[in-house]
Chains A and B, each alone.
Chain A
Amino acid sequence: ILNVEQSPQSLHVQEGDSTNFTCSFPSSNFYALHWYRWETAKSPEALFVMTLNGDEKKKGRISATLNTKEGYSYLYIKGSQPEDSATYLCAPSDWGSARQLTFGSGTQLTVLP
């Protein structure tokens, strides 16, 4: 099982603020990384799947970058809105994980109106 760390554990921002959080993972044998958004009382929803060092993905106001050499990914939210309030999960995989993802414990974002 990979050691996956997400920081911060929780975050409160004001509406309109931009924010970012980090997913750290072992850089050796990296294969892929997923980001999911999980709103309360709903199902986790995929945001991005990333595989290449230097990958940048964007979906509306949310973007993500990947650095496989140093073992981290950043998720950015520009101009946070209350509907962005959710837990954001990252899930990397490596060659040794039998093709499965290992989830971090998430960053819980609350956007205050």
Chain B
Amino acid sequence: EADIYQTPRYLVIGTGKKITLECSQTMGHDKMYWYQQDPGMELHLIHYSYGVNSTEKGDLSSESTVSRIRTEHFPLTLESARPSHTSQYLCASSEGRDPGWGGEKLFFGSGTQLSVL
């Protein structure tokens, strides 16, 4: 059973606010990911991390930033939210070989649905 948690589940916020989406996992996985999904569209990778103090941008450009100070914690921050940031954000983790190299599967959190008014 995967243990990866995201909070909040839903967030409605006004333009210009700073927000942080939380993601934590208790499985000790080194690799963590943030995906973004607009309605009816694909999941796109926006950030990933291979361990503490390691972060990389994904294939979809994002104004968000991430940090990885502890293995279990991978928060995503938007300094100034805009309506264009309205989307679903999914956090995931994996262990071992990269999923793209035929390695281990991704474990996903339940997502944060962000609405910026």
Known interface pairs A31-B100, A34-B105. Does A100 touch B111 (Cβ–Cβ under 8 Å)?
Answer: no
User: A43 to B113, alpha carbons, bound, how many Å?
Assistant: 13
Question: CB-defined interface of B80-117 with A at 8 Å, one 1/0 digit per residue?
Answer: 00000000001000000011111111111111000000
* A98 lies within 8 A of B100 (CB): yes
Cross-chain pair count, CB within 8 angstroms:
73
Q: Which of A43, A45, A46, A93 contacts B100 (CB 8 A)?
A: A93
User: A49 to B48, alpha carbons, bound, how many Å?
Assistant: 20
Known interface pairs A100-B45, A100-B59. Does A43 touch B99 (Cβ–Cβ under 8 Å)?
Answer: no
List residues of chain B with CB within 8 A of the CB of A36: 106, 108
Q: Which of A1, A4, A45, A101 contacts B99 (CB 8 A)?
A: A101
Q: B75 on the interface (CB 8 Å rule)? A: no
List residues of chain A with CB within 8 A of the CB of B104: 49
Q: A53 on the interface (CB 8 Å rule)? A: no
Interface of A is mostly: loop
List residues of A (72-113) whose CB comes within 8 Å of B's CBs.
Answer: 89, 91, 93, 97-106
* B101 lies within 8 A of A99 (CB): yes
Question: CB-defined interface of B34-71 with A at 8 Å, one 1/0 digit per residue?
Answer: 01000011111100100000000011000000000000
CB nearest neighbor in B for A42: B110
Q: B2 on the interface (CB 8 Å rule)? A: yes
Measuring CB to CB, which residues of chain B are less than 8 angstroms from any residue of chain A? 2, 4, 35, 40-45, 48, 58-59, 90, 98-111
Nearest 3 interchain pairs by C-beta = A93-B100, A46-B105, A32-B102
Measuring CB to CB, which residues of chain A are less than 8 angstroms from any residue of chain B? 1, 4, 31-32, 34, 36, 41-46, 49, 51, 89, 91, 93, 97-106
Can you name 17 A-B residue pairings with CB atoms under 8 Å?
A31-B100, A31-B101, A31-B102, A34-B99, A34-B105, A44-B106, A49-B103, A91-B99, A98-B100, A99-B99, A100-B58, A100-B100, A101-B100, A103-B35, A103-B42, A103-B43, A106-B42
